[in-house]
Structure 1
Amino acid sequence: MPHENDTCFRGQESVNYFSCMIHLWEEWTGLENMENYFNYLDYLVWVFTPLAIVFILPLFIVLFIYLSILFLHVYKRKNELKEAYSYNLWDGARKTLATLWDGHATIWHGYEIHGLEKIPDKGPALIVYYHGAIPIDYYYFLANVIIQKGRTCHSVADHFLFKLPGFKLLLEVFSVMHGPQQECVRALKNGHLLAISPGGVREAIFSDETYTLIWGNRKGFAQVAIDAKVPIIPMFTQNVREGFRSLGSIKLYRWVYEKFRLPIVPIYGGFPVKFRTYLGDPILHDPNLTAAELADKVKLAVQSLIDRHQTIPGNIFRALLERFHRRHKED
């Protein structure tokens, strides 16, 4: 049987001239294999799209934070002339952003908070919480305190946050500090709420689906509560690790953190799992407790909230199924 090219050059009438030229062009340019290429490309997109999404979604939280910062700058410029006549220039901005973050919490995570009545309407208290890979649950908690309690809550954050470009105004408006202990005690003695995660960045990076508390020997927060003579309220959010995960278990990232103290571990997730924040019973001031004893007592209280409300080990797919199955039953 003669090759198709031969039939073209021999001028056989059975071969359409135009079809023959297209075939020769495809053969010369290699386009005859394009369908296979597109099929392969489609396969790669199908395989890697979910992987790309889980690393891109955390960036939307960062984008949301920067949009919040942009709003604060616009708000500041618009209200500079009113500052001299306003009791607090930033009240409106805080409430607006709190409403936006609360909306995000409700839509994406079906956020619930249990025990908010344990936060005093007036006067100081120290809130101690478990630190997720991204403490987005704490942002939601802050929003609820602003909306439902009409109060702001001072926060203790790691030094690196104060070095991020554009964050200065956001940290000032929401009363975020990096310590030291004297500043924390002063904030409490002035009647403010104060929140701190003893695990901090280390817990965010290296804790995992087992929800291990990585507090080490830290007891400074307990000393702050003793010096200010305030109660401590433990806090934990169910499924916070299923919402976002870190790759801190990889030895390279642990080495980088230990060597350079750089919290650069990749975060993935953004999964719309159900978030429930639980506030435990206040641990009242006891002058007979040392800082070490109080720290142990608070750690046990947070661990108790984890044991009661979190399935160990956490599982992303199970958390997703539980949320949507429950929503289906409610509908």
Structure 2
Amino acid sequence: MTLPRLPLAIHTNVAELLDQLRAAQIAEFGEGANFLRRERKGRFYWYVRSRQVEGQRPERYLGPETPELLETIERAKSLKSAADGRRMLVRALRGAGLHAPDERTGRLLQALAQAGVFRLRAAIVGTVAFQTYGALLGFALPAQAVRTGDLDIAQDYGISMALDDGLDRSFLEVLRTADTAFSPVPKLDPSKSATYRTPDGYAVDVLTTSRHAGDEETSRLDALKTDATPLRFLDFLLRETIEAAVLHGDGVLVRVPAPARYAVHKLIISRKRSQANPKRRKDLEQAAALIQALAQDDPFALRDAYAEARERGETWRTLLDEAVSLLPEAARAALER
């Protein structure tokens, strides 16, 4: 099946929405905010200092210096509220058939974004991330591959420890600003939780990178003020995450894995799930769709990610070979060129 390419006008509107959301995120710190440039180990990083509010940090981390961040800061300095315009863009993009989350997931992502979760380099992983790739890549992705009933948030352990910034309240408290029904699901140690669930079964899982073979059941993410479940292969997925727009309300600026890494990671994970797990088939559907899109527009990123994964060892190569053998012929050819 060939993926339909989105009209250029839609792709342009997505880019405009992303630009507006980046500027709005920084402008939220308020008028009179000062932007600070800091050097650390030969690299420059930007922070914003806003008027101090009781109980909140006066300085916030914005990210490493890039031309895009410098341009965004300049836009934010003079930006007036453009929420109504963004809301119209979101409605137009949803009307054009781009995927959007259900209402509850949208509210949760909005609460997490406003709290600073994605600014702190956490990322959405799983199907909710996949929903954003059609807009980013300019293709209509298959509807059957975007349905989900949960939300996975991941942050690299090293990044969480290195940031001198964090949430003003616990991760659970942030979730409860969107839905008061959330409760922690305790691990073996009842004082720790990396999963939060509502009585009707909606779950938010917090994940992090595995540091060694003998990981404990959870790792503490200081920046997000929550425990997280360490997972193997996640470091590959979280390397070089990118910004994306979630089509909810007036738009939500989030971080997601690079599409090529997501596709290759899904190939690996599909082989780690049990035969009876319905997510196994969806993993392959998502990987195949992204491979088809990337083969047309960014084949080098796709092949680089695939080659990097294969170079990580025999276990990685075995899992990839098993998964690739189940892909459609065109997808296999795109990886093996």
Compute the TM-score of the two structures, normalised by the length of structure 1.
0.29
Q: Between the two structures, name the one with larger relative contact order (CA 8 Å, sep ≥ 6).
A: 1
Larger Rg: 1
Which structure shows the bigger proportion of residues in helix conformation?
Answer: 1
